[in-house]
Chain A
Amino acid sequence: MRKTFVAAVAALAMTAGPAGAQEKVVKIGVPLPLTGAEAKFGEMEKQAYEMAAEEINAKGGVKGHKLSFDIQDSGGKAETATAIVEKFVSINKYPFVVGEYSSQCSYSVAAVAEKYKVPYLVVTGAADKITQQGWKYVFRLNPPSSLYNLGVFSFFETVAKPKSIAILYENTDFGNSTSKAMKEYCKAKGINIVLDEGYQAGAVDFKPILQKVKSLRPDIVYMVSYLMDASLLMRQSKELDINPQAFIGGGAGHTLPEFLQNAAEASEYCMSATLWTPQVKYPGAKEFFDKFKAKFGKEPDYHGVEAYAAAYVTADTLKRAKEWTAEAIRTALAATNMMTAFGPIKFIAWDQFTNQNRMETLVLQVQKKKYETIWPKDAASAKYVYPVPRWRDRK
Chain B
Amino acid sequence: MTPQLAGQIELFLQVVIAGILLGGLYSLIGLGMSLIMGVMRIINLAHGELMMVAMYITYLAFSLVHVDPYVSLFIVLPALFLIGAGLQKYLITPVMDVESVLPQNQVLLTVGIGIVLSNLAQLIFSADYMSVPVSYASKTIYWDVNVGGQTISLSFNFPFLVAFAIAIGLGAALFLFLGKTDIGRMIRATAQDKRAAAIMGINTKRITYITFGLGAALVGAAGTLLAPVYYIYPAIGGPFTSKAFIITVLGGMGNIAGAVLGGLVLGLGESLGSVYISLGYKDAFGFVIFVLVLIFLPKGLLGKSSV
Q: Which stretch in A8-16, A205-213, A270-278, A358-366 binds the other chain? A: A205-213
Bound complex: CA of A205 vs CA of B26, how far in Å? Answer: 12
B22 touches A200 (CB 8 A): no
A211 touches B15 (CB 8 A): yes
B126 within 8 A of A: yes
Number of A-B contacts (CB under 8 A): 109
B129 touches A209 (CB 8 A): no
A188 within 8 A of B: no
A123 within 8 A of B: no
B76 within 8 A of A: no
A40 touches B14 (CB 8 A): no
B137 within 8 A of A: yes
A118 within 8 A of B: no
Smallest CB–CB gap between B98 and chain A, Å? 30
- B93: chain A residues at CB < 8 Å are none
Bound complex: CA of A208 vs CA of B140, how far in Å? Answer: 15
A34 touches B127 (CB 8 A): yes
Bound complex: CA of A266 vs CA of B239, how far in Å? Answer: 26
Query: A230-260, CB under 8 A of B: which get 1 and which 0?
Result: 0110011011100000000000000000100
A199 touches B129 (CB 8 A): no
Bound complex: CA of A34 vs CA of B123, how far in Å? Answer: 11
- B155: chain A residues at CB < 8 Å are 239-240
A218 within 8 A of B: no
Interface residues of A in 32-80 (CB under 8 A from B): 34-37, 39-40, 42-43
Q: Which stretch in B84-92, B169-177, B223-231, B299-307 binds the other chain? A: B223-231
Which of B126, B137, B275 is within 8 Å of A211, CB to CB?
B275
Q: Which residue of B lies closest to A198 (CB)?
A: B280
Interface residues of A in 74-100 (CB under 8 A from B): none
A258 touches B128 (CB 8 A): yes
- B11: chain A residues at CB < 8 Å are 211-212, 215
Interface residues of B in 7-31 (CB under 8 A from A): 7, 10-11, 14-15, 18-19, 22, 25
Taking residues whose C-beta sits less than 8 angstroms from the other chain, chain B's interface range is 35 or more
A197 within 8 A of B: yes
A337 within 8 A of B: no
A262 touches B279 (CB 8 A): no
Bound complex: CA of A228 vs CA of B274, how far in Å? Answer: 19
A197 touches B280 (CB 8 A): yes
Q: Are A236 and B138 also in contact (CB < 8 A) when A200-B282, A205-B22 are?
A: yes
Bound complex: CA of A231 vs CA of B15, how far in Å? Answer: 20
Q: What 16 additional pairs, Cβ within 8 angstroms, besides A43-B128, A204-B229, A205-B18?
A: A35-B127, A35-B234, A40-B128, A42-B127, A168-B279, A200-B283, A204-B22, A205-B271, A207-B14, A209-B274, A211-B14, A211-B15, A235-B137, A239-B155, A239-B157, A262-B131
List 10 A-B residue pairs with CB atoms under 8 Å apart, sorted by A's residue number: A36-B235, A40-B128, A42-B127, A43-B127, A199-B282, A203-B274, A204-B25, A205-B160, A208-B275, A235-B138
